[in-house]
Each structure stands twice: as C-alpha cells, then as structure tokens.
Amino acid sequence: MKYIIAIGIFQALLAVVLLLRTRYRKNADDLLISLVVCIGLHLSIKFFIFTFVEDQQVLTMMNTFIGFCYIPLLYLYTLKTIRPEFVSASKWYLFIPFIIGAIGYFSTVCVLTVTSPKAYLVLYWYNTISLYTLLPLDIIFSCGIIYLAINKLPRSSQEKKLIVQLASLFLCIGILGVLFTVFSSITFSLNYFSRSIIYALLIVITIRIITYKYGAIGDAVSTGIENKMVLSDPNFIEVSGINSEMQPTTVNDFLSNTVTAENAVLEEKETLLAQKRKEILSQSEMFKIVLKLENAMEKEQYYMQSELTLDKLAKLTGLSKYHISETLNHFINKPFYTFVNQYRIAYVKEKLKSLSEQNYSINILELAYEAGFNSKSSFNRYFKEITTFTPREYLNSISKTVLIS
C-alpha cells in the first residue's frame, strides 16, 4: 500500500506544479489546486504513519481529518463555475467539520504520544465519530453536487463533466467506505485492502483534474480558431446586431446595439489575440499595470466615458494597449470590456443603494447611461452576468433591505 501512497503523493505534487504553471487559469481553478494539495497532504500523512508507526491499533483506526475538505472544495468549485462572481469565502462554514476534525486528530495524537492509559479509548472514539460523520457527508453532498452540476451547467460543458465525474468518484469512496466499515472488522487484511482502493481512487481524481485542465487548453485553442473564422466573416456583425438578446425598437436602439455587438466582437478578437501572443511581461510587471488601471478607474472614473476603448484607455493611462490586453487576459482573466463594465455596474449599484436609502425617485436607465453604457441591452446583459439579478430585481432587493432596517 505504501507504493500506492507514494505514487499518489508524486502525482499530486506533479498536478499542483502543472496547474500553477499553466497560463490558462480561471479563478475557480484555485479551488481545484487546493483540492489536489489536500489529497497530497492526506497521502503524505498516511505515508508517514505506514512507514514509521508500528502500533497496529493506530494503523487500523487512525483516520486523517483532511478528508473533510474534499467535498466542500468541490462544492465551492461547482458554485464558482456556475457563478464566476461567487465569493468562496462566503461559505467558510462548510469547513467547520474540517476544523473540528483537525482539533480531534491532533488531540488524539497528543494523547497517543504521552502513552495515556486511555489512549486507545480516545483513538476509538475519534475514529468512530470522524468516520460516521465523514461517510454520510460524502455520500449526501456528492449526490447534491452531481444534481447541481447537471441542472445548472450547460450540457456540453467540460466543467460539468469534470464535476460530475469527481463527485461520482467521491461518492464511490463514500459507498466503499461504508461497505468496508461493515466488513473490515473481520480481518486487518480487508482493512488494508479497502484503504488501498480508496487511495487509488484519490490518485484517479488527481489524474482526472490534470486531464481536464490540459484538455480544456486544447478546447480553448480549437475554439479560438473557430472564433477567428467567425470574426473574419463580414456578415457576423450584421447578424449579431439583431440577435434575440438585442431586438431594437428604434433607430437609436439599433445603432447602440450595433455598437454593443461590435464591442463584443472586439472583445472576442482581443481575447483570441492575447491568448495567441506569447507573454512578454513578468507577473510583477502585470501586477503594477493592474494597480495603475484600478487606480485610474477608481479615481479618474474613465469607465464613465461611453466611447472608452482599449486604445483610448492606453492613451489616458500612458500604457501600451498590448500590455493592458495581456495583463487583463492573463493576469486577472478578464477581457477589456468585462473589466470596464464591472466598474460601471459597481457605480450603478452604489447609486441605486444611495438613492434608495434617501427615498429619491430612481431612473435605472439614466444611471446606466451615466455610468458609461450606451445601450439598454448591454447594460441589462452585463448587470445580470455580474450580479445574477436584473436591475429591477436588484433594486427591489435593496429596497426591502432599507425598509427592514
């Protein structure tokens, strides 16, 4: 079994290095990296126990607490994939079992170290409580994650396939854990065999994460080629200007929607070109550029200029437009117009809250134009993407909050 654990440790270490070095990282990928790190720590602790500990009671019953992290991290990754703006720290309470398990684990280790007469009794209760808490949680929440992914993510999404497969593997671990718990009291060899299977499944989970990530890179490249072909089609802008999301009712609406469509095309093209260009800036250089851009947006409020483009922002900030594009796409993983429109949405949200608290009449569309949007449809689309609410729903929610307070 030690050989399986050693392979798992090496695999987890390799996965972390590969995931950290890839340039095609999303914000949610940090949760995948955390999951792989937890698997590596779990297996490292087990390798130490099976190498240096000879006490059969400890070898048989000493569960680690890190298993309590797996399902919360996968659940947070699922939520982050469904809603990119989701803040993982808001669900900190999911790790309460992990914290309690860590306290119990290290307390048990201390008792075993001082060779207390009741050490094995403490070990028994720690093992029993942790095992009968972990297994039901794994089974129940794995099913919940599978249900969430199937119903909330697109059918052809690679992230959906990954989440369902990882949750299914954790579900298998939970079910096998229950079966082996029932029958492992027969012999130690069965316990040894069951742990070997579970550690092998953890290795499979690590390998699946690696194959997903590098498969996603291949998909990104092929998608980029398709986008390039679409962008070269002279009819593309014409069709995009009258899609189902932007149905103009007036000449002005049609013109503003056409500008929005052109912006979307430019954003796609900018992202594609940034992905194809080789990085020429260091992480520290890109960090400085981000700070300068954020300072310009917050203090100078350049986002309020409805005709703001990448070229114009470059002139206003004194930065190279290529450096800005590279930094936005590779450092913070946001295309130019997404970056700008987030500030516009934040401005509108702040104004809505302020006016609502003062009981002033509110014209949402007027605020949208004031923030820098030049079409109602693009404002509604970005507002929904960033906040998950429509502007009217958001206003109603903060109005209720004001009334309650």
pLDDT band at 245 (very low <50, low <70, confident <90, very high): very low
Check pLDDT > 50 for residue 236. Answer: no
> What pLDDT does 273 receive?
52
pLDDT band at 257 (very low <50, low <70, confident <90, very high): very low
Check pLDDT > 50 for residue 233. Answer: no
> What pLDDT does 247 receive?
40
> What pLDDT does 87 receive?
80
Predicted model pTM: 0.56
Beta-carbon contacts of residue 327 (< 8 Å; ≥ 6 apart)? 281, 286, 289, 290, 293
So where are the chain's domains?
A: 2-224, 280-404
Phi-psi region of 301 (alpha: psi -120 to 50; beta: other; left: phi over 0): left
Q: Which of 113-127, 220-234, 292-306, 331-345 is predicted least confidently? A: 220-234
Q: Whole-number mean pLDDT of the chain? A: 78
280-404 CATH pick, 1.20.1250.20, 3.40.366.10, 1.10.10.60, 3.40.50.2020:
1.10.10.60
> What pLDDT does 35 receive?
92
Task: Tell me what the mean pLDDT of segment 204-226 comes to.
Answer: 64
> What pLDDT does 96 receive?
94
Sign of CA dihedral 118, 124, 130, 136: negative
Check: CB of residue 12 under 8 Å from CB of residue 210.
Answer: no
Superfamily of domain 2-224: Rhodopsin 7-helix transmembrane proteins (1.20.1070.10)
> What pLDDT does 220 receive?
45
> What pLDDT does 44 receive?
92
Q: Which of 139-153, 195-209, 388-402 is predicted least confidently? A: 388-402
> What pLDDT does 17 receive?
83
> What pLDDT does 78 receive?
92
Q: Phi and psi of 55, rounded to 5°?
A: -65, 120
CB atoms within 10 A of CB 256: 22
- Do 280-404 and 2-224 have the same topology in CATH? no
